[in-house]
A and B are shown apart, each in its own frame.
Chain A
């Protein structure tokens, strides 16, 4: 009887064994395919953004021999002199065979309006150059840039291109003379927004993002940690604290536009803070990140083993000493991770900023918390909506920069966790 039973158990096991292995293999396969699928999508996203955006890091420039005419430039009028005329003359000098007025105008348009400002910078910094002829690289117009990069195709009929055959031949002439080259696009990193794609840069938006995040971090981290410490270590467990906890969790899931409306009502209409300022942006994003930080901080306080608390209390430490000498330092890496992830979310946010006027065209790079400012994702949104084709690559390039920043922040979170985290 017992022998029989043993055999039948083994039989039963081996009968089902193959099916059980199959089940496990199937399960693993599902897992792997899920990962492969998400990696594929990620790769697709990155590849398409990079493919569209990498060309924006280089900008077509033209070498002009500009005669710094003392008749036009006077040491006293350097701020108001007609630099555009000097640039135009220098450009026309490259094409001596062109005579008609119409053609001359078109040649003037091959060069960006930004060329005059570059010339102005040069002359203002070195007035002693006046009277000499200087070779100077100036940015080309965005349509020339698009043509050189191949974003405006040559093989479509002339009427359908924004660069005519004549312009194309002039561009080829410049290339042949080594006077037209793709150079590193410094304007993209040094300038604020502009309606001319070749002059537009992300510096203004990046500075705005920095100011906004600084406010957010300075406010939400201390407040969030204090709230978490109180709720976790001091607050009694009763209906009120339960209610608060539920509400904090709810807040974390509220769509961010709602915080924008709240910010509009409280900070702008009630407190009369300036519109479009990074200060207000920071305050609104603080409201949005607070719940995330509180939840992460509480989780990391919870993970400090009770034995540490008891040991500290056992050797005579006060509750305050226990928290500030032992528990907070041990929980800090987890809290910082939470804060960095919250910040990364705040960095990518546009919706709440729409309500407080930060979706705006701002040329000057903000210098303080009260200056009108915009942020990186808003800049991306505004460029994506612009008709000029050259903004397409700049949009993708700005996305690449934003992704790099996010990656750096997340990497910092991982680094902090690995370096300081204690396991028990």
Chain B
């Protein structure tokens, strides 16, 4: 018994000693953090990169855009990430935080686009929506239906009440929670735009920006909009089970489930590979990766990883990322971006 206790104690001490001696002292793999939307693409590149080159496969964490950039900006050194994935552009405040922590040279690479779609089950009617319809159906407060500028709590119960041309189905939309980048993008691109269809709210924009945002971006909380969690697969499954509801999620999930769900057109444009790529479909956003220039050459393989990401066999229309659902940038744009990435041109802060 005593021997047993003794050996356990030794083991404990050994682990303690190992733990203190192992403090991060060099890393031979690339560390990537950030958006869960970019995750499926950067993992595909990482895997390809790991198999095709002599470098180790990069480690990719799915932390969300905000959390990823926060980690990325926490300092310069091997214990901080080399690359941040983002489903939106980096903010000025974030660049400032970065600079304060010694991360002054950041390379921005726009890797492509992602479309956000509204879809419902194949079992029910396909929707033809406008962004105004969506604002009226989903905002917490809308201009009173009786006319006038007064805002009232959203009275609409069915799509037909919103717009005569829509089916008489109950308004029920499954979407991501506010922590999600998809939700941010949806609110900015759909709700903000939809609410400017009302003159009274549009006037507010120049007068009181804060109030304007509050009116446009607040989503109703009376059960018509259901926060279904970050998992897009779950939303697809729920749409199948409940043909009356609409769901909001990324384009790649539509692409994979075209036999079960159909996308609604928005402002007359159906979300397809082509309409998102040429910018006709209104609800699409660029995806970025941010690279710490100071780490290039310190951590092995960063330049090569960037080269793989920006190679035609990865990010073009025929590339393996398109197969995963990434919408490529136009060809000319790709050329410039790839050249910028190769030259490691850093963001100039006064651009913002």
Contact = CB atoms under 8 A, between A and B. Distances in A.
Interface of A: 117, 152-153, 156, 159-162, 194-196, 215, 218-219, 221-223, 268, 271-277, 279, 283, 324-325, 328-329, 354, 357, 359-364, 369-370, 372, 382, 384-389, 392
Contact of B59 (A117, A156, A162, A360): A360
A272 B259 contact: no
A376 to B, nearest CB: 17
A273 B19 contact: yes
B79 A161 contact: no
Given A161-B258, A369-B18, 5 more contacts: A159-B258, A195-B324, A277-B22, A369-B22, A387-B253
Contacts, number: 121
Contacts of B19: 271, 273, 279, 283
A363 B46 contact: yes
Given A324-B1, A387-B255, A218 B79 contact: no
Contacts of A222: 5, 8-9, 11-12
Contacts of B253: 387
B120 interface: no
Interface in B28-61: 29, 31, 33, 36, 39-40, 43-44, 46-47, 50-51, 56-57, 59-61
A162 B259 CA distance: 9
Interface of B: 1-2, 5, 8-9, 11-12, 15, 18-20, 22-24, 27, 29, 31, 33, 36, 39-40, 43-44, 46-47, 50-51, 56-57, 59-63, 79, 230-233, 250, 252-253, 255-259, 324-325
Given A325-B1, A328-B1, A372 B24 contact: no
Contact of B259 (A161, A195, A221, A354): A161
Given A194-B47, A195-B324, A361 B59 contact: yes
Nearest first, the 6 A-B pairs at minimum CB distance are A361-B60, A363-B57, A360-B61, A222-B8, A272-B23, A361-B43
Contacts of A271: 19-20, 23
Instruction: Name, among B60, B233, B325, the residue most crowded by chain A CB atoms within 10 Å (CB to CB).
Output: B233
Given A222-B8, A387-B253, A275 B31 contact: yes
Given A271-B20, A386-B40, A360 B9 contact: no
Contact of A324 (B2, B40, B59): B2
A122 B293 CA distance: 40
Given A156-B259, A271-B23, A385-B230, A276 B51 contact: no
Contacts of A283: 19
Contacts of A388: 256
B259 A276 contact: no
B102 to A, nearest CB: 16
A387 B252 contact: yes
Contacts of B33: 357
A219 B15 contact: yes
Given A273-B19, A363-B46, A162 B233 contact: no
Given A215-B15, A364-B56, A387 B233 contact: yes
A160 B79 CA distance: 46
B47 A363 contact: yes
A194 B57 CA distance: 11
Contacts of A196: 47
A360 B79 contact: no
B219 to A, nearest CB: 23
A152 B60 contact: no
B59 A359 contact: no
A369 B16 CA distance: 12
A328 B2 CA distance: 11
Nearest to A271: B23
